[in-house]
Amino acid sequence: MQKIFLYDTTLRDGTQGASVSFTSEEKLAICHRLDEFGVHYIEGGWPGSNPRDLHFFELAKAAQFKNAKLTAFSSTRRANTAVEKDMNLKALLDSEAPVIAMFGKSWDLHVEKALCTTLEENLAMIYESVVYFKQMGREVVYDAEQFFDGFKNNSDYALQTLMAAVDGGADFITLCDTNGGSLPSEIRDIMILVKAALDEKYGGDKPIRYGIHTHNDSGMAVANSIVAVEEGAVMVQGTINGYGERTGNADLTSIIPILKLKMGLDCVSNENLAGLTNLARYISETANMTPLNSRPFVGKNAFAHKAGVHVNAVMKEPTSYEHMDPALVGNQRRVLVSDLSGKSNIEFKAHEFGFEFSDDSLDSRRIVTEIKRLEQDGYQFDVAEGSFKVLMEKLTERFKPLFKLESLRITMEKDKDDISHVHAVLKVAVGDEIEITAADGIETVDVLDRAMRKALSKHYPEVDTIRTIDFNIRVIEGHNGKPSRSRVSIESTDKEHRWSTMGVSENVVEACWQALADSYQYKLSMERKQHTGTSRPQKVR
């Protein structure tokens, strides 16, 4: 089985994406997670470019990795500068990273217009830099920056830059689609021409290992990487979740399962592949980036089914509407409920939530009718499964309220140019006890959340783990003479799980309360279920 080397550049190229940033300590923690997953090369950063990367490599000197080789990144030496006197190269050496990733210019336009040097000097920069690090005992990955654009413009010179790296002793020659504008057919054709040209020059004397590095500006990064592998590339560079400059890099969360499951190539073990979804979520959580639900393989909706016809078929035979078993990448099947739902959706969700309909139970079709009525009024249960579970319990007379609102008072004040402040006084009944709490702040959902946590934590300590991580408010225009309504969606987490709830009302505060109350009720009812061991489906009569 062909072995493919996975090269992760989330910590360097990924952080060039908008809003993506990691501390040195976070970088090291991510390194360990990538190493545990089985990544072969981890590009930690550019030690000569900023203090944070310098600090990271200092921290990393004491780290030990089981699978991965830590890689330091930089450019070749500067024009008209000796390698021994180039400060970037000195920083690479000082990092003590066992692997050096070095990029050089392949496009004559860049050499003459950006570097402002000669084509001959650029070739010397590549060759001498590679030789320098090979003499220092380092493994060298040479990244031919903007190679495909350079090849299209001047193929002879682009090939000369590769030969300079090969002559210098580079361990990998990585062809880069830096601007992300190439098509898979171009990647394939150019890969074929490159291999033929270098085979003709070197024959079997210098076996060359090729890599591929693509950007997603044309939405082709994953496809271009796969085509390159089909044409002989044995190293694939990319980032987790596709983070990167502009529209991002090739997404390893798609590339890895394609290589392993679709192409039968050796890149990670089956056991490690099952941790891919958790890895993707860990990286997004650390980056403080909202996970993309529609991301292939690892997204929350990657194996979600909404149409009743689809759900009915999947319940009988999953492969009818799924290209693979979601468990292979650590994901899971989801059935969504909406106004497009049928009886199959409701029965699937009922079983998922721990109960089934008996023959004389409340007709699931009547529940479908109620769902569709509520969605007509503004609810959207396919993105609020927490609220849907609470609703199902109410419709099947299984709802056990763990707290009850007695009263809620919200006031807002604003003095001149000062920011507005929200004050909340909450009165909640928990069993026979009444809890009265207050909170203030600048945002209604946050203030209500903190008041709720204060009121419930005495009775349910587990609420201290609940955090609201995202919310949005949307105004729904009225219809058939009805006034406009506010729809409030809240996403919550307890560090291990995420769930979404929703409230809809003509009053935005009421909608906020509905969504928040459902969130706490969902969390607490799931805790009760786990502690009492009632995870088996129970029949509802």
404-539: CATH topology? Double Stranded RNA Binding Domain (3.30.160)
Average pLDDT over residues 98-111: 95
229/211 Cα distance (integer angstroms): 8
Which pLDDT score, from 0 to 100, does residue 537 have? 35
Q: Which helix (H) or strand (E) holds 426?
A: strand 421-430
Residue range 193-214: mean pLDDT, rounded = 91
- Please tell me which of 89-93, 283-287, 476-480, 529-533 the model is most confident about, judged by mean pLDDT: 89-93
Q: Report residue 490 as tokens.
A: 């809240």
Query: In the beta sheet, which residues pair with residue 504?
Result: 487
Burial of 248 (0-12, 13-18, 19+ CB in 10 A): buried
Q: Is residue 349 pLDDT above 80, yes or no?
A: no
Report d(CA 147, CA 151) in Å as an integer: 6
DSSP 395-415: HTT----S-EEEEEEEEEE--
Q: How many CB atoms within 10 Å of residue 484?
A: 11
Q: Read off the pLDDT of residues 321-340 as tens digits, 9 standing for 90 and up.
A: 889 999 999 998 877 666 55
Asked if 163 and 142 touch (Cβ cutoff 8 Å), the reply is: no
Candidates 14, 35, 45, 12; CA nearest to 239 is 14
Average pLDDT, stretch 481-504? Answer: 85
Q: Which residue has the higher pLDDT, 533 or 370?
A: 370
| Distance of alpha carbon 14 from alpha carbon 7, whole angstroms | 12
Q: What percent of the chain has pLDDT over 70?
A: 90
Q: Does domain 5-268 have CATH number 3.90.1200.10?
A: no
Q: Which residues contact 51 (CB under 8 A, 6 or more apart)?
A: none
State mean pLDDT over 208-212: 97
Residues 377-394 have pLDDT tens digits of 788 777 788 888 888 888
Write the DSSP symbol of residue 477: P
Chain centroid to CA 445: how far?
A: 26
**What mean pLDDT is predicted for residues 82-87?**
93
Residue boundaries of the structural domains of the chain: 5-268, 404-539
**For residue 426, what are the contacts with CB-CB under 8 A and spacing of at least 6?**
405, 407, 408, 435, 436, 437, 438, 439, 448, 451, 452, 455
Residue-level length of the chain: 541
Find the mean pLDDT for residues 410-433. 87
Assess contact for 225 and 214: CB atoms under 8 A. Answer: yes
Residue 266 has pLDDT above 80, yes or no: yes
- Retrieve residue 352's tokens: 């998922």
- CA atoms of 197 and 105, how far apart (whole Å): 19
Q: How many CB atoms lie within 10 A of CB 497?
A: 10
Q: Quote the pLDDT of residue 228.
A: 98
Q: For residues 112-118, give the mean pLDDT.
A: 91
- Please report the pLDDT score of residue 536 as a whole number: 37
Supply angle C-alpha 389, 393, 395, rounded to 5: 115
Cβ contact 242:249 at 8 Å: yes
pLDDT digits (tens, 9 = 90+) for 142-171: 999 999 999 999 999 999 999 999 999 999
Cα-Cα-Cα-Cα torsion 488, 494, 498, 501, nearest 10 degrees, comes to -20
Summary mean pLDDT of the chain: 88
- State CA 508 to chain mean position distance: 31
Of residues 523, 444, 460, the one with CA closest to residue 491: 523
For the entire predicted model, the pTM comes to: 0.75
In the numeric block, the tokens 């890599």 are attached to 211
Is the pLDDT at 535 greater than 50, yes or no?
Answer: no
Q: If DSSP states are collapsed to H, E and C, what string results for 174-218?
A: EEEECCCCCCHHHHHHHHHHHHHHHHHHHCCCCCCCEEEEEECCC
374 three-class SS: helix
Q: Which of 402, 325, 287, 339 is nearest to 11 (CA)?
A: 287
Split at pLDDT 50, 70, 90, the class of 252 is: very high
Pairing of strands 433-441, 421-430: antiparallel
